[in-house]
Amino acid sequence: MNEFSTLKEWEHLLQTYGKLEAGISIPAVSRNELYLENRLAGYCVENNSITALSIHDCELTSIPESIAEFNKLFELYLHNNKLISLPENIGGLSHLHTLDLGHNALVSIPESFWNLTQLAFLYLSNNQLTSISKSIGKLKDLVYLNITDNQLTTLPEEFGELMNLREFRLYNNQLISLPESIGKLVNLKEIHLMNNKLTYLPESIGSMKSLKELRLLDNKLESLSASIGNLSSLTHLELRNNQLPSLPETIGNLKNLTHLDLRANRLSSLPDSIADIKSLEKLDLRWNRFASLPKWVSSLQQRGCTIYN
């Protein structure tokens, strides 16, 4: 069976789910057409090989083993289905660069999956995953990783091997801690960790010198490591709705910080070093425990910083 005859099997599957009329084929389309939300199924061909396949919003509960026949696939979009598992041979799609499995019902990932070492963009959001294999460290070409809206409580130390990662989204999980190895992600620019159960950040967080956005609202943070002051590229620090009673003096070292959100913590005082952050454009202090604010707050306002208190 070759990849084009394999399409017939997928067409039959879609007909079974009532998503494709009898006698109608999955269409070959351009790249731009492939991404249209109202197109439930389509594929792209380059050099007589299928290089992109999209089948979304079709209520699929499983993927045929014949997926392995698409061995030149560069992009695969299977989001918004009802997948509960993946075939073991999915790891044979060795050219895969972009994979979207978001908004399904996956409870686990087969070990072979982590052999997809060419992946640069991986979407696993809105599933039912409770753990991630340490083999994730094999995906050294990953640039973007989205595992939001799952049930993860921890990440393996091998997560720190994803040295090319630029953006990482893990909000709406149950994380209680981050691996110390996260500090090795020196190319990471954005971390989105909202709505987890983090009580602290590892000391190594300060090694992430490329980090621009650190979003931690709706956690249970009780303290911040002084190493956070080493994040010299940071522009956005979002700490809303945590349990912080104080901030480290080193926060004033964040010379590129433009937005600092401290709403809904337990702060009764602020480090004077914040006054030295010349780049600060917005400081939100609402819903804390301040009896009064330091005089330098008005100085920040006078130089154009918007302050809410």
Rounded Cα distance between 40 and 78, Å, is 10
| pTM for this predicted structure | 0.97
The neighbour count for residue 295, using CB atoms within 10 Å, is: 9
**DSSP category for residue 40:** -
Name every residue whose Cβ is closer than 8 Å to that of residue 290 and which is 6 or more positions away in sequence: 267, 268, 269, 270, 309
Q: What is the pLDDT of residues 161-196, one digit of tens each?
A: 999 999 999 999 999 999 999 999 999 999 999 999
User: Using 50, 70 and 90 to split pLDDT, how confident is the model at 78?
Assistant: very high
Q: What is the pLDDT of residues 263-290, one digit of tens each?
A: 999 999 999 999 999 999 999 999 999 9
Q: Is the pLDDT of residue 37 over 90?
A: no
The neighbour count for residue 36, using CB atoms within 10 Å, is: 11
pLDDT of residue 2: 85
pLDDT of residue 1: 60
Give percent of the chain above pLDDT 90: 95
Q: Is the pLDDT of residue 24 over 70?
A: yes
Mean pLDDT of the residues in the chain: 96
Rounded Cα distance between 81 and 45, Å, is 23
Rounded Cα distance between 293 and 63, Å, is 59
In order, the DSSP letters of 197-224 are: ------GGGGG-TT--EEE--SS-----
Rounded Cα distance between 118 and 116, Å, is 6
Q: 241 and 264 in contact (C-beta within 8 Å)?
A: yes
The SS3 call for residue 122 is strand
| Tokens coding 141 | 């070409």
Rounded Cα distance between 171 and 158, Å, is 20
* Widest pairwise Cα distance in the chain: 75
